[in-house]
Chain A
Amino acid sequence: MNYIPVNEQDRKEMLDRIGVKSIEELLALQIPESLRAKKLNLPEGLSEQELSALFKNYAGKNKSNLVCFRGAGVYDHFVPSLVDEITGRSEFSTAYTPYQAEASQGTLQAIFEYQSMICELTGLDCANASMYDGATAVAEAVLLAVRTSRKNKIIISSGVNPEYLSVVETYTKNLDVEIIKIKIDEKTGALDKNVLQSMLSDDIGAVVVQSPNFFGVVEDMLSLSETAKNKNALFVTIVNPASLGILKTPCEYNADIAAGEGQVFGNRMHLGGSTFGFLAVKKALEWKIPGRVVGQTVDKNGKRGFVLTLQSREQHIRREKATSNICTNAALNAFAGCVYMACLGSSGIKELAETNISKARYAFNAIKKLEGFEPLFANSLFFNEFVFKTVKNVKKIEKALLKENILGPLNLGAFDKKYKNCLMFAVTEKRTKQEIDKLTDILNRA
C-alpha cells in the first residue's frame, strides 16, 4: 500500500517548477554518491486486506482474553466504551503536542481536566501532563526530590515494584545520586518505621514508599511520612489510583510528591504498554516538576483558554539545564485516564475501590481455606493483591489454570529465589464470584 497522493503528472509539474529532471537529481545535488544505500532488503508492500490477514495471523498466536488473576503493576480492569469512543477520535489522536494553543484547545482543556482530576485524587496541587509510565514517573520523582532537597541521598523501599526500582537505577547510575534501599519486614511485608528512623539522617533528601507495595501490602503511610518529615526528608509516595477511593490519599499523609502507574484507569494491558505515568506535587514544587504542564489563562477578549505553561523548565528552552529531557509523553493514554475518571465520577471511584477490595478479600478468604496454601503476610492489610505460599507445584498450577483459560497468579519465585513457591494474586472488580470460585476449585484440585 502507498499513502502518497501525488501522481506522475503532478510529479512532473513539481520537478519542472523546481527545475530538475528527477528526484534522483535532487538527491544527487545534496548527498555524495559514496554515501548512498543499496536497495532495501525488505518484502514487497501489502494491500490492506493482506495486511489485516497477516496481523490476524500474528494475533492468533497469542493466548488472549484470559480470565486474569495476575497484576504486579498492570491490571485487568474494565474499560468503558466511552473511553475508546473519545480517545479514538482522530481530532485528538492525530494532533501533535499543542504548540499552537489557539488551534489545540481540545487537547489542552482535556489535559487540564486530567491534571485537575489527578490533583483531586491525590489531594496535591499540581500534576504534569503525564510521564511515559509508572516506572519512569517514579524515576523522575526521585530526580525531582534530589533537585528540590538539594541532597543526593534517597531512601527507597524495597517494596517498590522491581520494574520501577530497575528504572530508578538506570536513571540515577550516571548521576551523583545515592539510592539506599530499606527492606520490608519479612513477617508483615511492610516497612518498619523504626528501621526507617534508624536510617534517616540530615543528608537524606527523600524517602520513597509504594503503597500498596509490590506485594499488595498497604503501608502505614501516616507514620512513615511523619518519621521522614521529622528528619526534614521529603516524602515521595507511589500509589495505585484505583485504591484511592478507599485508602488514604497522598495529601492526607502530607506527601510532597505522588507518582504512579495510570494504566488501571482506562488503559488496556497491551503487554504492559503504552500506559501513562502520573506525577503530582505540592505547590512549592510546581516550577521544579518535569514535563509538560497546562495552565488556565484568558485570551485577548477575556475568554478562558488553556496553554502549555511554566515552559522555561523544559528542554526546548533550557536545554542541558532543563528539569528533564522529556518531550513526547503519554498524552492520549492520560486522556484515556481522564475520560475514565470522568465516567466513574467520585462515587464510581469509591465504588471501584470498594468492589476491588471486597472481591480480593473474598478470594483471599477462599484460598486461605485450601489445604497447602498459607498467606505470606497473614495479618497485613491489602487492597486487590496478595501473596500465598504453597506446597503444591506452581508450574502444574499455572498449567491447570491456563487449560481453563485462566491467567493465574504470578510466580514470585521466578523473580527472587527468596519467594520460591510464592504466588501473587490480583483480583480486580472485573472478576466475578463465579470466576473466583472456579480459580479456587482448580487450585484445590491441582
Chain B
Amino acid sequence: MNVPNELFYAKTHEWARKEGKKVYVGITDHAQHEITDIVHVELPEVGKKFSKSQPCAVVESVKSAFDIYSPVSGTVVEVNEELLSSPEIINQSPYEKGFFFVLEIENENELKELMSAEDYKKSL
C-alpha cells in the first residue's frame, strides 16, 4: 500500500498536503482500494468554509457511498473538476491527479494533529 511520507493523514482515510497557505486534500491509496472502482464524486462548492472533520464531499462506487471529511478547517479555493467526468482518476492516482479539492487553511497547527505516514500505516 502506497503511503507517501510527506503527507498528513486522517483516521477517516483522507490525506492532506501543504503548499504554502494551501492544503490539497484527497483519499489514500488504501481507501481507494477498499472502495474499489470509483464511479462518482460530489465535490464542495468553491468558497465554502469547513471546519475540521466536517463532511464536505462524497465518493461513490457502484454499491456504496462514503463521506469525505475535511482533515483541517479552511475555505475551499479550488475543486478538481476533472473527477466529475473521470472519477477513475482517483483509483489510478490517489495522491496526485486524484486530489479532491484545495483548502485555504485557517490554523496550521491542525495539520500537526493529523497522523504521520508511519502512524497511518500502523493504523491500517
Contacts and interface: CB of A to CB of B under 8 A. Distances in A.
Interface of A: 150, 287, 310-312, 317-318, 321
A125 to B, nearest CB: 15
B39 interface: yes
B61 interface: yes
B106 to A, nearest CB: 23
B5 interface: no
B63 A317 contact: yes
A129 B76 CA distance: 36
Contact of A287 (B40, B63, B64): B40
Contacts of A150: 45
A318 B62 CA distance: 12
B60 interface: yes
Kindly state the interface size class of chain B when it binds its partner. 10 to 19
The 6 closest A-B pairs by CB, nearest first: A312-B60, A312-B65, A318-B65, A317-B65, A287-B40, A317-B64
A312 B62 CA distance: 6
A318 B65 CA distance: 7
Interface of A is mostly: helix
19 contacts: A150-B45, A287-B40, A287-B42, A310-B40, A311-B62, A311-B63, A312-B39, A312-B40, A312-B60, A312-B61, A312-B62, A312-B63, A312-B64, A312-B65, A317-B63, A317-B64, A317-B65, A318-B65, A321-B65
Contacts of B42: 287
Nearest to B67: A321
Interface of B: 39-40, 42, 45, 60-65
Nearest to A310: B40
Contacts of A317: 63-65
Nearest to A322: B65
A321 B45 CA distance: 18
B121 to A, nearest CB: 29
A150 B47 CA distance: 14
Contacts of A321: 65
A259 to B, nearest CB: 23
Contacts of B45: 150
Nearest to B45: A150
B65 to A, nearest CB: 4
Nearest to B60: A312
Nearest to B62: A311
Nearest to A307: B62
B69 to A, nearest CB: 14
A258 B17 CA distance: 43
A243 B31 CA distance: 51
Given A312-B39, A318-B65, 6 more contacts: A287-B40, A287-B42, A311-B62, A312-B63, A312-B64, A312-B65
A287 B42 CA distance: 9
A318 B58 CA distance: 11
Most buried by A among B40, B42, B62, B64: B62
Contacts of A318: 65
Contacts of B61: 312
A321 B55 CA distance: 12
Contacts of B64: 312, 317
